[in-house]
A and B are shown apart, each in its own frame.
Chain A
Amino acid sequence: MTTAAMPASVKKPQNVQKEDAMWLQKELINRNYTELATAHQMGRKVSATFVPGNLNELLMCFDFARSLPETNALQNGMRKKSGKMIMDAERDGQSEDVCTYVKADLGMMMGGEVGPTGEVLPRPDVLLLSYTGCFTFMKWFELIRHKYGCETVMLHVPYQGEGKIAPNMREYVVKQLKENVIPTLERISGVKFDIDRLRQYMRESQKAEEDLVAVLQSAKNRPSPIDGYFGAVYYIGPIFTAFRGTPEASQYYSVLRGEIEERVRQGKGPVTPEGEMGEEKYRLVVEGPPNWTSFRDFWKMFYEEGAVVVSSTYAKVGGLYDFGFRHDADRPLESLAEYCLGCYTNLNLPSRIDMICRYIDEYQADGLLINSIKSCNSFSAGQLLILREVEKRTGKPAAFIETDLVDPRYFSAANVKNRLESYFQMIKQKRTSGVGHDLPRTIPIAAAH
C-alpha cells in the first residue's frame, strides 16, 4: 500500500487539468527519485522503509536519502512496468500467491534497480523494518537482506488486538527506538542523534498534518471538492513518504488547502484527469487500496457516473490523523511510537468497522465500496465481514470488487465496471424505494478474468 506521484514520463495532455498543488506534488516526488539516484555520489547513505509506520523525521536526523519500496512498486505499476517485474520475481522462485508489491520490488532489483523515473536507484544502506500493520513487511526486508546483504533494523510494533494502545505497547516501541533503532542509524550514518533536530521536524510534520486533515475533511461538503480516494492518493504522497517533516511538505499542504478551500467557496466538485467532475450523484466510502496498473480507467468508472469517494481508509495507511493524532515535538519518541501503533492496518477489525461507519455518517455517504486486493491479506482478510457489519449498522448498501495492486493480470475492467454500475443502480433504487438489498453484492475473483 502507499502513495502516488503523477508519472514523470507522461507529458501533460492537453485535456488534463491540474492544480498548482498537483504540480508541486509531482515535483516533490520526482525530486526524491533524483536525490536517491545521486545519493551515493553525494556521499549520502540510503535508507528504505515502509509507508505505514515510516519514521521519516527520524531518518532525516541522520541525513539518509529515503526510499519507500511500496511507492517504487506502485509507480512502476502506474507506468505499466510492474507486470514484467512480477513475472521475473516469480521465475526467480517467488510464489504466484504472495504480495505483488514484494515481487515488483524484487523484480526491479533484479532488473538493475532501474527506478520508475528511469534513474538507477541505489542499494539501501539500511532497511528500517518498521513492522506495523502487515506481516509481509518482515519477509519483504528479509528477502532483500538475504539477496543483497543490506543491514536491517527491526522495529516491532504490536498490533492493536484490543482496539487500543496500552502503555506497555508504547514503552516497548520507545525502548526499541532508543536502544536498537537510533544506535543502529547512528552507526550506519555516522551522524549523532540530536533530539532537538527531531523535534524541529516533528513541528513541521504537525503543520502539514493539520492541513492534510482539513483537505481530507473538505469532502464533508456537498459537493465534495475532492475525491477522497483517487485524488487523495496524490495528496498523501509527500506526507506518507520522504517529505513529512520538511518545510517543502508544509508549503505543499498549505497551498493545497488554500486551493481546496477556494473550491469549497466556489461550490466546485473534484478535479479529475479529464477536468472538472460533473454533477455529484453518489457519495461513497472506499475500503482497500486502489489498483495501480489501470488507475486512470478505474477512476474514470467512478467520475463518469458522477460517483465521488468522500472518504477512504487507504488515505490513512501512512498515518491516521483525522481522529486527532499529531506528531508531538514535546514527546518525540512516544509520539513516533503512537504514530506507528496507530496505522490503519494495525487496528483490529472492530476498530476498522467503527471507523468506516463513522465516515459513512460524518461524510453523509450513500454506502461502502470494498476494493479487495488479492495481494494484501492485511487489508483483505476479514473484509467480507466488514461489509456485512457496516451494512447492518448503517443500513447503507455495500459492494465488493476484487482487483490487485500492481499485477495487471488481476484487473478485469469489464467486470469491475459492471459491478460498479449495478452498485450505483442499487444506491439509486434504495434512495427512491428503500429496496436493493437483494442484488448480488460480490463478484468472485475467478469471474474477473
Chain B
Amino acid sequence: MTATIPPAVAIVQRCEALFDDLDFKAVKAWKAAGTGRKAIGYMPVYVPRELVHAAGMLPVGILGGGDSLEVIQGDAYYQSYICRIPRSTIELGLTGRLDCLDGMLFPSICDVIRNLSGMWQILFKDKYVRYFDVPQNYQDEIGGRYYVHELEILRDDLGKLRGKPIGDAELNASIAVYNDNRAAVRDLYAYRARKPWQAPTSEVYLLLRAGMVLPPEEHTKLVREYLAAVDEFPRPKRDNARVVINGTFCEQPPLALIKSIEMSGCYVVDDDFMLVTRWLLDDVPADGNPLEELSKAFLHRSASTAAKYDATREEKGVFLLKQVKTRGAEGVVFAAPSFCDPALLERPMLQDVLAKHGVPYTAFKYAENTGQMAPIREQAGTFADSIKLWSAA
C-alpha cells in the first residue's frame, strides 16, 4: 500500500528536486525531447525572456551554486572580497554543468556581472555570450530607442542561432505566454500575502526557482496547481510578524536561511527573489509592435531595484514602501549578500525612507553558502518579537 502524498507536497518536492539539481537535468531532458533544441542561460536581475522563448529556446536562470556546490576552481578566479555568485557560476561552467546551455546573457546589474560577461567570452569561446545592457534613461525617445535597438540585436542574434529570424507574431505569442506566467506569479504573491501560513515562502521560493529551468507554460501550470492544492488543506496560522525581504535580488540566500527567517516568527509577504518573474508589473500588450511594447513596459511599468537608477530623490524607496503597504507588512528585513555593492549601497537610503515612515527594519548579510543560521534566526526572531510588542503597544 502506498501512502498518497498530498498534491501540494508533491509539487514542492518536484520543485525541490529541480532546485537541488546542479546538473540541470531538466534542461537536458527538455533539449533531448526535440531535435535542434537550444537553451540560453541568464543571470539576475532581468532579461526579456520573451525573445529567447520566441526563438523556440529555453531560457534558463542561473543563480549561482547555492550551498551544496563545492567551489574549487571558481575561487582561483576571484579575490576574497568579491561576492560568491560569480565564482560559483564559473565553477558551474568549468565543471561542465552548463554545457547544456548554448549561450549566456549577462544583464546590466553591477560591475561583477558585467566583467563576468567578458570572462565568459574568454573561457567559453564556442558559446554565444552577450552582455545585455538596459537603459537608465526612461524616456521613450532616448532610453527607449536605445533599448529597442538592444532588443533588436538580441533578436537578430537568437534568430541566427536557430537559423531563422524571429517574427513579430512569434514574439507576440511569447509575450502572451509570459503575461500568463506573470499573472500566475502575481496570484501566487497575492495569495501568500493574504495567507502566508498556507503558502510559506520556502515553498514559494522553490516554485519560483522551478521557473528558472522549466518552460514558462509548464511553470505557469505548476504555480496554478500549487495554488489550488495548498488552498485545499488548512495549515496552522501563527502569530507571526509580516515582513518584506529586500536585497536578495542577485546572489541567493541558502534555502535554510529563508526557512530560518520563517521559523523565527516572520511571515514573508513580499521579497525581491528572482525579480525576472515580476520585473514587468503588468501585462505587455501582445498585439502591438513587440519590441516597442517590451520597451515601454520596461521603462514605465517595471519593478525597482538597486541596479536601477531613481531619476529623482522622491522616487527612492517608493517601490519598497508600496510593497510594505499593499502587502500589509509590519517591517522589512534587509538581507544582502556580502560584498554586494548594489544592495549594500542602496540599503542606507531605503532604511532612511523606512525610518521616515515609521517602518521598522533589521539588516544582515549572507553568502549563498552561509552555514550558520543561528545568528540570523536569533536576529530575525528578536525583530519579529519587537514588531509584535510594538504593534501591541
Q: A95 at interface (Cβ–Cβ under 8 A)? A: yes
- Whether A384 contacts B78 by the Cβ 8 Å rule is yes
CB-based nearest A residue for B340: A97
Beta-carbon contacts of B44-84 to A below 8 Å, as 1s and 0s? 00000000000000000000000000000000111111100
Any chain B CB within 8 A of the CB of A13? no
Does residue A43 face the partner (Cβ distance < 8 Å to B)?
Answer: no
Contact indicator A349/B349 (Cβ below 8 Å): no
Min CB–CB distance B86 → chain A (angstroms): 7
- CB-CB under 8 A from A143, the residues of chain B are 345, 348-349
Confirm or deny: A164 has a beta carbon within 8 angstroms of a beta carbon on chain B.
no
Q: Are A142 and B349 in contact (CB under 8 A)?
A: yes
| B142 A180 Cβ-Cβ under 8 A | yes
B136-167 interface bits toward A, Cβ cutoff 8 Å, 1 = contact, 0 = none: 11010111011001100000000000000000
Instruction: Decide if A139 touches B313 in the complex (CB within 8 Å).
Output: no
Residues of B within 8 A of A (CB): 76-82, 86, 106, 108-112, 114-119, 121-123, 130-133, 135-137, 139, 141-143, 145-146, 149-150, 306-307, 309-311, 313, 316, 336, 338-342, 344-349, 351-352, 365
| Number of A-B contacts defined by CB within 8 Å | 170
A389 interface contact, C-beta 8 A: yes
Q: Judge whether A131 is part of the interface by a CB distance below 8 angstroms.
A: yes
Q: Which of B80, B119, B309, B339 contacts A154 (CB 8 A)?
A: B309
Does A156 lie within 8 Å of B121, measured CB to CB? no
Contacts of B316 in A (CB 8 A): 142, 146
A134–B108 CA distance with the chains assembled, in angstroms:
11
Q: Which residue of B lies closest to A138 (CB)?
A: B309
Chain A, Cβ-Cβ closest to B316: A146
In the complex, the answer to whether B81 meets A172 with C-beta atoms within 8 Å is: no
A384 and B81 in contact, given A146-B313, A159-B133, A350-B118 (Cβ under 8 angstroms): no
A112 within 8 A of B: no
Kindly identify which residue among B150, B313, B341, B347 contacts A99, using a CB–CB cutoff of 8 Å: B341
B121:A385 contact, CB within 8 angstroms = no
Contact A378 B111 (CB under 8 A): yes
When the two chains form their complex, are residues A385 and B149 in contact, meaning their CB atoms are under 8 A apart? Answer: no
Given A99-B341, A135-B110, A162-B131, is A389 in contact with B149 using a C-beta cutoff of 8 Å?
A: no
- Whether B114 pairs with A97 at a CB distance below 8 angstroms is no
Apart from A93-B347, A159-B131, A381-B115, 8 more pairs, CB < 8 Å: A94-B345, A97-B81, A135-B341, A146-B316, A149-B313, A348-B115, A377-B341, A381-B116
- A402–B79 CA distance with the chains assembled, in angstroms: 9
Selected contact of B136 from candidates A92, A154, A168, A353, CB within 8 Å: A154
Q: A341-357: which residues lie under 8 A (CB-CB) from chain B?
A: 345, 348-353
| A425-B133 Cα distance, complex, nearest whole Å | 44
Are B118 and A172 closer than 8 Å at their CB atoms? no
Q: 0/1 per residue, A358-397, Cβ < 8 Å to B? A: 0000000000000010100110111111000100000000
For residues 302 through 352 of chain A, which have their beta carbon under 8 Å from a beta carbon of chain B? 345, 348-352
A-B pairs with beta carbons under 8 Å apart, 5 shown: A95-B365, A142-B345, A161-B114, A377-B110, A377-B112
Contact status of A161 and B117, CB under 8 A, knowing A180-B142, A381-B112, A445-B81:
yes
* A-side interface residues, number (CB < 8 Å): 57
Q: Are A381 and B111 in contact (CB under 8 A)?
A: yes
Are A381 and B352 interface neighbours, CB within 8 A?
no
Q: Closest approach, in angstroms, between the C-beta of A152 and any C-beta of chain B?
A: 8
B137-A180 in contact (CB<8A): yes
Q: Could you tell me if B112 and A159 are in contact, using CB atoms closer than 8 angstroms?
A: no
Cα separation A372 to B306 with both chains bound (whole Å): 25
By a beta-carbon cutoff of 8 Å, the part of chain A in contact with chain B is 92-95, 97-99, 102, 129, 131, 134-136, 138-140, 142-143, 145-146, 149, 154, 156, 158-159, 161-162, 168-169, 171-172, 175-176, 179-180, 345, 348-353, 372, 374, 377-378, 380-385, 389, 402, 444-446
Are the C-beta atoms of B111 and A135 separated by less than 8 Å? Answer: yes
Pair B341/A168 contact, Cβ less than 8 Å: no
Cα distance A98–B338 when bound, in Å?
Answer: 10
Among the listed A154, A351, A377, which residue makes an inter-chain contact with B82, where contact means beta carbons less than 8 Å apart? A377
CB-based contact A94/B348 at 8 Å: yes
Q: How far is the CA of A396 from the CA of B365 in the complex (A)?
A: 40
Residues in A neighbouring B340, C-beta threshold 8 A: 97
Nearest neighbor of A172 in chain B, beta-carbon distance = B146
B115 adjacent to A175 (CB under 8 Å): no
A136 B121 Cβ-Cβ under 8 A: no
Q: Whole-angstrom distance from the CB of B130 to the nearest CB of chain A?
A: 7
Which residues of the other chain, B, contact A131 by a CB distance below 8 angstroms?
Answer: 136, 309
B133 to chain A: which residues have CB within 8 Å? 158-159, 161
Contacts of B131 in A (CB 8 A): 159, 161-162, 348
Taking A102-B345, A172-B146, A377-B111 as contacts, is the C-beta distance between A385 and B77 under 8 angstroms? yes
Chain B residues with CB under 8 Å of A138's CB are: 136, 309
Chain A residues contacting B110 (CB-CB under 8 Å) are 135, 377
Question: Are A146's CB and B80's CB within 8 A?
Answer: no
| Cβ-neighbour of A179 out of B86, B136, B142, B344 (below 8 A) | B142
Q: How far is the CA of A169 from the CA of B349 in the complex (A)?
A: 31
Q: Which of A135, A175, A180 contacts B114 (CB 8 A)?
A: A135
Give the shortest distance, in Å, between A180 (CB) and chain B (any CB). 7
Q: Contact between A349 and B122 (Cβ–Cβ < 8 Å)?
A: yes
> A159 CA to B137 CA in the complex, in Å?
14
Complex contacts, A345 vs chain B, CB 8 Å: 111
Complex: A145 Cα to B80 Cα, angstroms = 31
- A residues within 8 A CB of B117? 161, 348-349
**What 9 A-B pairs have minimum CB-CB distances, sorted nearest first?**
A349-B118, A161-B131, A139-B345, A172-B146, A156-B136, A95-B344, A382-B115, A348-B118, A93-B348
Given contacts A180-B142, A349-B121, contact A156 B137 (CB under 8 A): yes
> In angstroms, how far is the closest chain B Cβ from the Cβ of A99?
7
On whether the beta carbons of B81 and A145 are closer than 8 Å, the reply is no
Report the minimal beta-carbon distance from A166 to chain B, rounded to whole angstroms. 8
B349 proximity list for chain A (CB < 8 A): 142-143, 146
In the assembled complex, the CB of B121 is this many whole angstroms from the nearest CB of chain A, namely 6
Could you tell me if B116 and A382 are in contact, using CB atoms closer than 8 angstroms? yes
Asked if A444 and B80 sit within 8 Å, CB to CB, the answer is: yes
Q: How far apart are the CA atoms of A61 and B340 in the complex, in Å?
A: 38
Given A98-B341, A377-B110, are A156 and B79 neighbors across the interface (CB < 8 Å)?
no
Residues of chain B within 8 A (CB-CB) of A352 are: 118
Chain A residue nearest in CB terms to B146: A172
| CB of A133 to closest CB in B, whole Å | 8
- Report B-chain residues with C-beta under 8 Å of the C-beta of A350: 118, 121-122
When chains A and B are docked, how far (Å) is the Cα of A444 from the Cα of B310? 37
